[in-house]
Amino acid sequence: MKTFFAARAASAMLGIVTLAACGFSPVYAPTQSAGPGIAGLGPVAVPVIEGRAGDQLRLALLRQLGAPSAGASASTLSINLRENLRRFNVGLDQSTGRAELTLTADYVLRGVDGALIAEGSEVAIAAFDNALGAFTDLPAQEDAQERAATLLAQRLRLAIAAAAKRQG
C-alpha cells in the first residue's frame, strides 16, 4: 500500500517538474495589483464605448481586466463596436419567432508607451426567442445584449492575454 502512494506522489512530482521545464505559466496568474488582470500586461484602461451594448461590454471588460487605479499608467484598449440584429422565422403576418444579435468588436491595444501590442476583431452571437409578441421583444433583446457583451469580453480578454504572452 505504501508503494502505491509513493508511486502516485512520484508521478505527481514528475508532472510538476515537466510543466515547469516546458515554460508553462498560467494566463490567469495574479498581476501586480493581485486583482483581475492579465499576467505580464498590467492594468488596462478601456475608454467609453458608444451605445447600450458598448456600456455593457466596457463594464464586463473592467470586471475581467480590473480597472486601473486613478493616476496609474495603463495600457489602453480601444474598441469599435458594431451591433447587428437578424430576425428569423418570418410568419405570414410578418411577425418573427427568433432573432440573433451579433456584436463585433474591432480592437486596438496599446501599451503605456503607445506601442501597438495587439489588434484584431472578435465576434459574439446571442440568440433569443420573441414569439410571445412585442412586449417580450425588448427585454429579450436586452438580455441577448448582456449575454453577447459578456461573451465578447471573455473572448477579448483571451485574445489580449495571448498577444501579451507573445510580446514577452
User: What pLDDT, in 10s, does the model give residues 9-63?
Assistant: 667 666 665 655 565 555 555 444 444 566 667 788 899 999 999 999 999 999 8
What was the pLDDT predicted at 97?
A: 76
- Which is more confident, 136 or 132? 136
What average pLDDT score do residues 140-151 get?
93
What homologous superfamily is domain 41-167 in, according to CATH? Lipoprotein like domain (3.30.160.150)
pLDDT higher than 90, residue 123: yes
Rounded to an integer, what distance in angstroms lies between the CA atom of residue 82 and that of residue 100? Answer: 14
With a CB cutoff of 8 Å and minimum separation 6, the contacts of 38 are 27, 31, 44, 65, 157, 160, 161, 164
Rounded to an integer, what distance in angstroms lies between the CA atom of residue 103 and that of residue 148? Answer: 7
What was the pLDDT predicted at 31?
A: 45
Rounded to an integer, what distance in angstroms lies between the CA atom of residue 54 and that of residue 48? Answer: 8
CB neighbourhood size of 157 (10 A): 22
- Give the highest mean pLDDT range of 39-53, 62-76, 82-96, 125-139: 39-53
With a CB cutoff of 8 Å and minimum separation 6, the contacts of 52 are 142, 145
99, 87 Cβ separation under 8 angstroms: yes
What was the pLDDT predicted at 84?
A: 96
Rounded to an integer, what distance in angstroms lies between the CA atom of residue 145 and that of residue 128? Answer: 10
Question: What is the full DSSP assignment across 73-99?
Answer: --EEEEEEEEEEEEEE---TTS--SEE
* Domain ranges for the chain: 41-167
Query: What is the C-alpha R_g of the chain?
Result: 22
Question: What is the residue type of 57?
Answer: L
Rounded to an integer, what distance in angstroms lies between the CA atom of residue 89 and that of residue 127? Answer: 13
Q: Which helix (H) or strand (E) holds 15?
A: helix 2-21
What was the pLDDT predicted at 35?
A: 46
Q: Give the Å distances, CA to CA, from 82 to 13, 106, 156, 157, 158.
A: 49, 8, 15, 18, 20
